Amino acid sequence: MTSSPSTVNPPKGLEGVVATTSGICYIDGERGVLAYRGIDIHELADHSTFEETCYLLWNARLPTATELKELHERLAEERELDPAIIALLRTAPRHALPMDVLRTAVSALSFFDVEEKSNTHEANVHKATRLTSQLAMIVAAYDRIRKGKSVVQPDRSLSHAANFLLMLNGERPSSTAERALDIALILHADHELNASTFAARVTAATLSDMHSAVTSAIGALKGPLHGGANEAVFQILEAIDRSGADPVSYVKGMLAQKQKIPGFGHRVYHSEDPRATHLRQMSHDLGHSSGQDRWFDVSKKIEEFVKSEKKLNANVDFYSASTYHILGIEVDLFTPVFAVSRISGWTAHVIEQLDDNRLIRPRAEYIGPVYPQPYVPIKKRQEDKSQPEEKLVREG
């Protein structure tokens, strides 16, 4: 028996492959459309809140006033961490990356979840609520602990966005800052089968638990080809600000060195990323209200040049960099803050997967040596020193 090459080569990275059906997120990359449960992201960003968006993702409809009030109350009740989790955060090495700490802490949360062993729909919605509250607390608490500051307790009267900024910065945010983060959380809540969401669904499909699925998602999000682009964007903004360089000249220099400009282009959208539309305005408004207009001004010059020179549109990461910085968020917290939002979408997909589960087990197109190959005894094998050493190549 011999192997024969396939007549159709599968796309690298499963690009364009439909892996499942889902009623959660609708994307039209040609028209620049993003919708949750059929509701356009522009409508949600203009009129909704993160809490209402969570309800929509988890329950497939918008809540009534009573249901939304009850969700606020449940999120407030779950906004607490077992002392053992705080102790874990305190024992993390100072050099630990916040994403690594978040991944480890979320895994440990399962020890203290009263419904850990239940995979019913109701239990998973409860766990989604708990995890949404707890992830924000972990990110904020660890940032303060590593800076030698006291952990700030949440305020039951505040929104999820306001509570996060309170727990992070130690003071109640302005209404402008609260609304800016609230919109950012809405915009990042879900994005169909991105790498981290797919990882979560694959884990859930084995009938593992919600915490394991979310831990898988966080592990995928940590990778620089998925999360981290807005961190790279701000590093450029900071370098320009520090050196006083002309933004366009700086970016031209990067392009001359064959460097990619982070925050531009998207694998799905062929027109403007609809999330970037709102983040651009948020960066402008927040910068103006805080007296930090320079971050938006530099970003706008870079955007105009890259769009003119490379015909690339800004994506969700580009303006989120300046927005997060003005909100007082450290650069290495940008990706964890992404998780603070995306937990709503991850858990929605886990719930959907487990409601109608089938093990996700794709096949691979074999391209190895022709079968059968003989087994050569070790004494007859010749060492081949002509083979070049394998080098790790990272695409950025």
C-alpha 162/C-alpha 338 separation (Å) is 16
Distance CA(357)–CA(359), nearest Å, equals: 7
Q: Which residues are catalytic?
A: 266, 317
**Structure tokens belonging to residue 150:** 């006291």
- Please, which contacts does 302-307 make with residues 24 or more away whose CB atoms are closer than 8 Å? 302/236, 302/247, 302/248, 302/251, 302/261, 305/247, 305/248, 305/251, 305/252, 306/251, 306/261, 306/264
Is residue 131 within 8 A of residue 343, CB to CB? The reply is yes
Closest CA relative to residue 59, chosen from 67, 48, 49, 50: 67
- Spatial CB neighbours of 74, under 8 Å, sequence gap ≥ 6: 129
Q: At what angle do helices 175-187 and 50-59 cross, to 10 degrees?
A: 20
CB 25, CB 190: distance < 8 Å: yes
Specify the pairing of strand 33-36 against strand 25-28.
antiparallel
Asked if the peptide bond before residue 154 counts as cis, ω within 30 degrees of 0, the response is no
- Would you say 49 and 185 are in contact if contact means Cβ atoms under 8 Å apart? no
Cβ–Cβ < 8 Å for 345, 190: yes
- Which single residue is written with the structure tokens 């522009």? 42
Terminal CA-to-CA distance of the chain, rounded, Å? 41
